[in-house]
Amino acid sequence: MAFVGGQPVVDRLLKAYGFSTQRELVEKIGVGHGTVSTWIRREYFPGEAVVQCALDTGVSLAWLATGSGEPVQDRILNTQIGEDDLIEMPCKDLDNGRLTVKGNIFIAKALMPVPISKPELINSQSHKRKFVVEKMFQTSTDGDWLIEKAGVISVESIKRIPGDNWRIETVDWPAKEVQLLGKVICIITSKV
């Protein structure tokens, strides 16, 4: 097994963290700005950074170190998932205050923190996260919501305040000017 340093290992570190620039990598691993460039120029193998990246991201250590194999190791489920164990939900992109339909996805019911009737997956470009929202809700409560205000759709943390208003960030909005589109029940983040 050959541990080749330089540009190939830096490229794998960037890919594992999901970074597009060396600057992002430098900030994440806490080295000097010229360090990564030196690794590339001298074909240095940064063992400590490789191990830390594997721990941070769950990416295969063998792949990070050598480039062989797959970045994410296959995981075998101990149980079989049947059709009744899956939830089909629409998937939409939220970008610049607008929703765009992308299709449907299936997700295991067991992954949902609560039972869900009418789910939707919202991929938010600005939050760099995905939100599972419940479109069928009985009451409006404080929390994270998919909302529309002033013609713009967003995911916001809202709080009911006296005077029939919602506090969104530091602004108080009349409740009649805020349309609740779905209650956020789950936030999906990615380490890779």
In a domain, 71, yes or no: no
18 and 101 assigned to the same domain = no
Q: 19-28, 53-62, 166-175 — which one is most confidently predicted on average? A: 166-175
In a domain, 72, yes or no: no
User: Which residues span the domain enclosing 136?
Assistant: 83-189
CA 86 to chain centre: 21
Beta strands in the chain (DSSP E): 86-95, 98-108, 119-124, 129-134, 143-149, 152-161, 165-168, 171-174, 178-188
Structural domain count of the chain: 2
51 and 146 assigned to the same domain = no
Report the CATH number at residue 41: 1.10.260.40
Threshold 0.85, pTM exceeds: no
- Reported as a pLDDT band with limits 50, 70 and 90, residue 142 is very high
Distances (CA, A) of 38 to 27, 46, 142: 16, 11, 50
Rounded distance between C-alpha atoms, residue 110 and residue 81, angstroms: 10
88 and 183 assigned to the same domain = yes
29 and 89 assigned to the same domain = no
